[in-house]
Amino acid sequence: MTTFPKPDIRPANAQFSSGPCTKRPGWTLEALTDAPLGRSHRAKLGKTKLKAAIDLTREILAIPADYRIGIVPASDTGAMEMALWSLLGERGVDMVAWESFGAGWVTDVVKQLQLKDVRTFDAPYGEIVDFAKVDFDRDVVFTWNGTTSGVRVPNADFIPADRKGLTICDATSSAFAQDMDYSKLDVVTFSWQKVLGGEGAHGMLILSPRAVERLESYKPQWPLPKIFRMTKGGKLIEGIFTGETINTPSMLCVEDYLDALQWAQSIGGLQGLMARANKNFAVLNDFVEKSDWLANLAVVPETRSNTSVCLSIKDAQVAALPADAQAAFAKAIVALLEKEGVAFDIGAYRDAPSGLRIWTGATVETSDLQALLPWLDWAFQTQKAQLS
């Protein structure tokens, strides 16, 4: 069997997973020594930590002062479910999807909430929906950055300022990495384990004044579990958005999120985070553009994610294989890289087309990404030799 020489340089950090993502550079467990373990989250210290997490989130993301920010359970999924079950049904809704998580929200609204006045707009992996067909006088649900397709909206210009409906945006792979116009967004959700490399299980829910007005004036026809309830007596429960969480958060995870936020501040806030992600994406994209076997799954350059970069294998011999054999080939590349300890968890998402998915968010060091690139070629050559 033909063997190929292995590259001389290895990434110092081989963690390129698209979630949970790698920790910030220099992170150690020592960063969490100030966590109030064994203390109540309702004690003054716990509330202070939770409020600090909310305040730093607002500062770094430049969230408008009249928007509410809450820490909620069950990661981004929990935050989105709270929004969908609490806000939808007052008017018709346009559901927009171009990858698996967006498609999941469609399923929730159509099959679980069983709303009648729903229009669905979808696009295949690698492409994006034509937003000119979407009616923003209706509620609109969409994902800013498709984590499983590598396709994002380039900006918020497609959203009219005078819209009558609410815009509900899943921003879990775009918050802290992409320039989002929050004035165009009424609900924004994300989790800690993406761009900032935080821990799982906690979500963030951001509400505009228009979303708050809807919560206080509209009561869904279906019962809401306690964990979803954001109003009492027709008024917003303000404590949720000052650190009085609905259920018990992990103060260890809160401490880790605070550490990540403070790191973000130290590198220039949102601009520094975006610059790091953009630099990483540029390095990988340049490699892919010159590659004779890799291609971006995202067709239009302007819609390519700078965090969850999804790649397909365009080599003619591999592309001629049956779909299951193409998937096996890509998985074999992933396995080779993991065995060598140079890249972990970079396979395409299970519902996405076969290929690779490499995280280039702000917590990734460019030097590690650069060290990975020759290993990609090595793994491809090694695996292709077995096809002969």
Please name the residues in contact with 153: beta carbons below 8 A apart, sequence gap of 6 or more: 128, 131, 142, 144, 145, 303
Please, what are the averages of pLDDT over each run of 10 residues along the chain (388 residues)?
Answer: 89 98 98 97 97 98 98 98 98 98 97 97 98 98 98 98 98 98 98 97 98 98 96 97 96 98 98 98 98 98 98 97 97 98 98 98 98 98 93
Q: Is 18 helix (H, G, I), strand (E, B) or coil?
A: coil
Residues 291 and 248 occupy one common structural domain: no
Does the pTM exceed 0.75?
A: yes
DSSP annotation of 139 reads E
User: Around Cβ 344, how many Cβ atoms within 10 Å?
Assistant: 15
Residues 283 and 356 occupy one common structural domain: yes
Domain-terminating residue out of 233, 265, 297: 265
Answer yes or no: is 72 within a domain.
Answer: yes
Answer yes or no: is 7 within a domain.
Answer: no
CATH label of the domain that carries residue 108: 3.40.640.10
Q: Which domain holds residue 325?
A: 269-385
Residues 129 and 184 occupy one common structural domain: yes
| Nearest in space to 204 (alpha carbons), one of 41, 67, 70, 66 | 70
What type of residue sits at position 123?
Answer: A
Residues 216 and 232 occupy one common structural domain: yes
φ and ψ at residue 260, rounded to 5 degrees: -65, -40
> What is the structure's pLDDT at 69?
98
Task: Give 62-131 as a DSSP string.
Answer: T--TTSEEEEEESHHHHHHHHHHHHHTTSS-EEEEESSHHHHHHHHIIIIIS--SSEEEEE--TT----G
Residues 261 and 283 occupy one common structural domain: no
Residues 278 and 203 occupy one common structural domain: no
Residues 252 and 273 occupy one common structural domain: no
d(CA 279, CA 346): 19
Answer yes or no: is 247 within a domain.
Answer: yes
Residues 256 and 277 occupy one common structural domain: no
H or E, element range at 231: strand 231-232
Residues 55 and 187 occupy one common structural domain: yes
Domain-terminating residue out of 265, 285, 317: 265
Domain-terminating residue out of 231, 265, 299: 265
> What is the structure's pLDDT at 1?
56
Q: Is 207 helix (H, G, I), strand (E, B) or coil?
A: strand
Residues 306 and 166 occupy one common structural domain: no
> What is the structure's pLDDT at 384?
96
Residues 68 and 154 occupy one common structural domain: yes
R_g of the chain, CA atoms, integer Å: 22
Answer yes or no: is 160 within a domain.
Answer: yes
| Nearest in space to 350 (alpha carbons), one of 193, 79, 125 | 125
Token pair for residue 243?
A: 């650190």
Helix ranges (DSSP H) in 182-246: 209-217
CATH label of the domain that carries residue 290: 3.90.1150.10
Token pair for residue 30?
A: 């020592």
